[in-house]
């Protein structure tokens, strides 16, 4: 019988994307201790959805992102403890070809987390390059729900057309899709403004999760064209994007000053006002506290319209995930 237990999701989650990337540099006990403090602070303030993936912190680290998240969950005691929701994304690796491979992958994630996965998600669709691989993997996710091994099933990097096909297939067997996770921010409105994903999600009763709501930190106001950029993708992307988004950053800054908030808090609140669940990363207490400051208030309709217009007028947009489907 299908799992009838309702999966409760908060208005904002705390993504572990930053944890996964940071952990690739190696093990550091002091860093782990601070991340535990970050976790505790989030849960204590009602942020109880934590998103990770079985491809974060892999290789020699042996799935350390999930291991740490499980450890933090087990060691936390206090308010909202019973509301903690652990979400993980299972990668559509080329060697995962059957539903059993996804069931086994979820079991491995559960072992690393030290408890059953609450929300299991397909990390990306193979529809753009290997559509024949996708359906067996999705069958595995559906079976996890039917067996009561997870409370909810979600998708990641799916557009409305692909979502509707999967939704129909799952509905035929009584399996609801709880969430769809896409890259969404003031600099990445494509899934909503061009694909119309949010409207489809609303029609189907699916929550939309917004990953990278601060656009890799570009919307924090920390960087300018004269900044020295971090290594990696930011060093490549930021010099290309910054010259074309000055109006948007100025609008963010003006509203933040008027509201006595930070630019990050305004950018995250904008995502919330758009009816999504943003999952900003937090790798230290200062960042977590700032993210939490996006809660408990709302931008008004005029401010949202100003930000929408500034975003639409930007000469540059964030590069879309290559796995994003239509």
Q: pLDDT tens-digit profile of 214-241? A: 998 899 988 776 767 667 677 777 777 7
Rounded Cα distance, 251 and 81, in Å: 38
Position 305 confidence tier, pLDDT thresholds 50, 70, 90: very high
288, two tokens:
């977590």
Domain residue ranges of the chain, discontinuous segments joined by +? 13-217+264-300
C-beta separation of 183 from 321 below 8 A: yes
Distance of alpha carbon 12 from its chain centroid, rounded? 10
282, two tokens:
């937090």
What residues are paired with 182 via a beta bridge? 210
- Catalytic residue IDs: 56
CATH number of the domain at 13-217+264-300, please?
3.20.20.100
The model's pTM is 0.91
Q: pLDDT tens-digit profile of 27-57? A: 456 677 888 999 999 999 999 999 999 988 7
C-beta separation of 86 from 69 below 8 A: yes
C-beta separation of 156 from 180 below 8 A: yes
């Amino acid at each position: 019988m299908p799992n009838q237990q309702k999966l409760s999701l908060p208005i904002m989650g705390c993504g572990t994307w930053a944890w996964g990337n940071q952990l690739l540099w190696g093990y550091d006990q002091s860093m782990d201790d601070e991340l535990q403090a970050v976790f505790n602070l989030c849960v204590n303030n009602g942020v109880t959805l934590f998103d990770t993936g079985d491809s974060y912190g892999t290789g020699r680290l042996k799935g350390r992102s999930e291991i740490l998240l499980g450890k933090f969950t087990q060691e936390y005691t206090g308010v909202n403890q019973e509301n903690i929701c652990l979400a993980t994304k299972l990668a559509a690796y080329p060697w995962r070809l059957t539903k059993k491979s996804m069931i086994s992958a979820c079991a491995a994630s559960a072992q690393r987390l030290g408890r059953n996965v609450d929300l299991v998600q397909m990390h990306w669709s193979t529809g753009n390059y290997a559509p024949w691989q996708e359906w067996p993997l999705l069958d595995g996710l559906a079976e996890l729900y039917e067996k009561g091994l997870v409370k909810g099933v979600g998708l990641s990097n799916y557009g409305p057309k692909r979502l509707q096909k999967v939704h129909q297939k799952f509905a035929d067997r009584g399996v609801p899709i709880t969430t769809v996770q896409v890259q969404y921010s003031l600099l990445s409105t494509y899934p909503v403004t061009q694909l119309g994903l949010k409207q489809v999600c609303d029609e189907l009763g699916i929550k939309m999760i917004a990953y990278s709501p601060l656009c890799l930190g570009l919307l924090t106001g920390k960087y300018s064209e004269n900044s020295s950029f971090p290594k990696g993708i930011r060093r490549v992307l930021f010099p290309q994007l910054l010259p074309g988004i000055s109006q948007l950053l100025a609008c963010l800054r003006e509203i933040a000053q008027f509201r006595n908030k930070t630019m990050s808090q305004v950018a995250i609140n904008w995502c919330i006002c758009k009816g999504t669940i943003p999952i900003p990363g937090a790798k230290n207490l200062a960042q977590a506290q700032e993210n939490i400051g996006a809660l408990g208030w709302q931008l008004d309709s005029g401010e949202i319209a100003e930000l929408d217009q500034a975003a639409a007028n930007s000469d540059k947009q964030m590069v879309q995930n290559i796995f994003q489907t239509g």
